Every structure is written in structure tokens, then in C-alpha cells.
Chain A
Amino acid sequence: MHGPTSIMPLRVEGLSFEVNGRRLLTEVDLTLDRGGVVALVGPNGAGKSLFLRLCHGLLTPSAGAVRWGDGDGRRAGVKAHAMVFQKPVMLRRSVGANLTHALAAAGHGRAARRRRVEEALVRFRLDHLADRPARVLSGGEQQRLAIARAWALDVETLFLDEPTSQLDPAATRAIEETIVMLEGEGRTIVLATHDLAQARRLARRVLFVLGGRIHEDAPAAAFFTEPKTPEGIAFLAGDLLA
């Protein structure tokens, strides 16, 4: 999508994170290649969100490093990866103004902003809501706007943190279609989810996170048919893991 220069692959080396001496993430090593949906699955508190935040640069690792293929994960100084949160963060402005704000923050000029906002509104079927205050939208519409905001920035990689956990099935389906579309555009999606069916539907590769470690790292088909570890088997069987 972005020609020969890509911020991928993302190399995570010995990544650890601790708070007040408590280790929440321990020596994660992995490489994420360009393209496709990678699902992080695992029980609550396993460290999925933490991992996304560290990769996105919202948190500073206690040890180890996050290395982007191009060095800093930026194009022309602007972050080429974005994050969508479990509870969508909406500014107290209209839908259109929420998009404009993100584009302005990334340094786009007035004309480019207007064009890009228009494209995003149409693409994500939000055009009829453009002038509506973003905070009165339904949960599903807000999450769609949050993803549209990342798309408008034309980021190469998206970190999605449980984007559908608070949505009903119809809204969830709409978000999943959006994810497939983003993947089809050649973007890389890193998706944290506790919805195994969703991971099965979308992911090409699965990272099973448990107790702050990557417990299994496998192609999705392999993980779902033949998990390698007893914990993986238990997790797929629906047993709660502490």
C-alpha cells in the first residue's frame, strides 16, 4: 500500500513492563510482519492491552525495545500506526470535527483535511452523521468513527484493543467487516480480543498471552485445531485461566 518503504516489520525484543516491582509483561520477543490480522487472545489481565500500548508507544518499557522496520515507525515525522481503544475516545465535537482534529494533529493542511474527512465519512458510512455530536452516537457508531479516524490518518498499522467487547452482534459484525476491509488495503492489524470466535474469523496468526508472556505463537488454523500447550487447550475449551 505504501510502496517500498514500510514501517513494518515490528520487532519486539525482550520487552518487559513492571509497575511497583510487579511484572506485568515478561521478556516478549516476536516479529510482526507486514499485512494481515494478528490476534492476541488470552484471559483478562494477561497483558494484551499492555502489549498494544507498549508497541504504540503510550507506555515506556521497563526493559527491552520495540523496533519498527524503518527505525521509528513514522512517515515524514508523523506516526504511521494508530490505536483504537476498548471504550472509544470521542472529543466533544461533531463526527466530522473529530476526524478533522486528528488530521490537524498530524499536520495535514486545510484542503487535505476536508478531502480526507469526506472520504472517511463515506467509506465508514458515517456521512449522514457528520454534523452529529460524536458523544451521542451509539457504541458501534463511535467505534466505527474511532477506526475511521485511524484510517483517515492513513496509518499502516492499527492496534485495536478489544474493539467490540462492548458492542451488540450487529455492531460487532460491522466492525469486523471494517477490519477485513483494512486488511484488504494492505494494512497490518494487531487485535486484542477475548472473543475466540472473532479471532477465528479474522486472524491469520494468533498470539496466546498468559501471565504476561506470549504462551503460544502460531498460525490461526494451527492454534485453533492443535494448541501446543495444556494452557492453550484449557483456554480453547473455555476453562478459566488465572
Chain B
Amino acid sequence: MEVAGFLAAAAEIFGGSIPGFWPIVGLSLGVTLTAVALAALIGMPAGALLAVSRFPGRTILIVTINALMGLPPVVAGLLIFLLLSRSGPLGFFGWLFTPKAMILAQVVLVLPIVVALTRQTIEDLWREYAEHLASLDLTGIRAVPTLLWEARFSLLTGLLAGFGRASAEVGAVLIVGGNIVGHTRTMTTAIALETSKGDLPLALGLGAALLVLTLGLNILAFGVGRVGARNAG
């Protein structure tokens, strides 16, 4: 393929002359951001609580969560597929082959990352703050809101890692979403499809869009983190 062909394709894509391009980008972004937000909502408090509590089996739990960070997306997709399939335990939701199923799959992929990184960050902070917070009667779960706020800039990095994993994966959303045009087709599943069809310019264009989005979000988060951390000392 020549450079000119790629540039022409890129112009076509971003110019909006290929129908369905922007909806694909929108859906991808919507699914992934929702999944990361949900994972943050559940995973940050859970990770912080794990950091400040001591109970039997804690170490095993931590190791398990760390291991789940490497859960292959296709395996996660398969498990969610079985859960949501018509005869599965959650089949009555009717979520299979909808964006909801894709969000669920990505939450499963992102959650271990958020919990593990939050746990690590908060545990380091806890060493610094434990006595002061205990002095204020903030122990155990009562210390969690303070610690999460103190860790806010480090936690942003954890969320970015989660976003990276969710936006890049193709296996899980392909299995539970089905790659249906205009309904569950995301950037990654579209790239996989167009590549196998031999439409490399379109695949490359989508790939470029995905890279630009990821880069943009990282720059934004990095900037926010830097400015914030400087202001907070």
C-alpha cells in the first residue's frame, strides 16, 4: 500500500465521507469511558479498603487480583458470554450483543488493574498517614476517603492504565458484542474486520484515530496530574 492511498483514506475517514466512522469512534469511547468510570467507582474504594485492612487470606486475595491484571481478554469475553447467553445465569438481562455486555466485559478487565494499583498506592500513603489519621480517630474504612483524596494524582495513572487496556482490547468486545454494524462495532473490532477483508487503508485510519485518542487522553491526564501535584505539594 502506498502512502498516498493511506493519506487519501485518512482524509476520507476524518472528513466523514465513510459512513459509520464517527459512530464507531463514539461507541468505542462511550463503552470504554463508562467501563473505566464504573471500575473506578468500585475499584478505588475496594483497593483502598484492601490497603488498610488486615484479615486472613488477604495476601492470597492480593496475589489473585494482581494475577487477574493479566487475564486474557478473550477468556474474560468467553466467561461473560456464558453468563449472559440466553441459557446462562444472567441471560434474562438480554444484554448479549449489546453495548452493555461490552461495558461489563471491560469492567471485568479494568477492575483488577484499578484495585491493584489503588491498593499499592494507598498502602504507601498509609505508612505516612496512619498515625495522624488514627490520632483523628480515622481508622479502617473511615480513613479511606482521606487516603483516596491524598492519592488522587497517582490514582489518575492507574485509571489511564485501565483505559489503555480497555480501549486496546478486541477479544472480549468481539465475543460479547458481536461486531454488529452501527450497534456494537468498535474501533478495534472494525480494525480486525477491515484487516481481514483486506481494506488496509480503513483499518489504518481507524488505528490512527485510536492512537490519537489514547495519546490525547494521556497528555491531558499527565498535564492534570503534573499541575495538580505541583499545587498540592
Contacts and interface: CB of A to CB of B under 8 A. Distances in A.
Interface of A: 53, 56-58, 78-79, 82-83, 85, 89-93, 101-102, 105-106, 133-136
Interface of B: 128-129, 131-132, 134-138, 146, 149-150, 231-233
Contacts of B150: 91-92
A159 B101 CA distance: 56
A135 B135 contact: no
Contacts of B135: 56, 58, 79, 82-83
Across chains A and B, which 10 residue pairs bring their CB atoms closest together, nearest first?
A135-B233, A133-B233, A89-B132, A105-B136, A92-B232, A136-B233, A83-B135, A92-B150, A133-B232, A105-B138
17 contacts: A79-B136, A79-B137, A89-B131, A89-B132, A91-B129, A92-B150, A93-B149, A93-B232, A105-B136, A105-B137, A106-B137, A133-B232, A133-B233, A134-B233, A135-B232, A135-B233, A136-B233
Nearest to A133: B233
Q: Per DSSP, are chain B's interface residues mostly helix, strand or loop, or mixed?
A: helix
A66 B136 CA distance: 18
Nearest to A101: B146
Q: Per DSSP, are chain A's interface residues mostly helix, strand or loop, or mixed?
A: mixed
Contacts of A105: 136-138, 146
A85 B133 CA distance: 12
A148 B161 CA distance: 40
Contacts of B231: 133
Contacts of B129: 89, 91
A39 to B, nearest CB: 21
A89 B135 CA distance: 11
Most buried by B among A85, A92, A105, A134: A92
Nearest to B151: A92
B131 A58 contact: yes
A106 B138 CA distance: 9
Given A56-B135, A85-B132, A133-B231, 15 more contacts: A57-B134, A58-B134, A58-B135, A78-B137, A79-B135, A79-B136, A83-B131, A89-B131, A89-B132, A91-B146, A91-B150, A106-B137, A133-B233, A135-B232, A136-B233
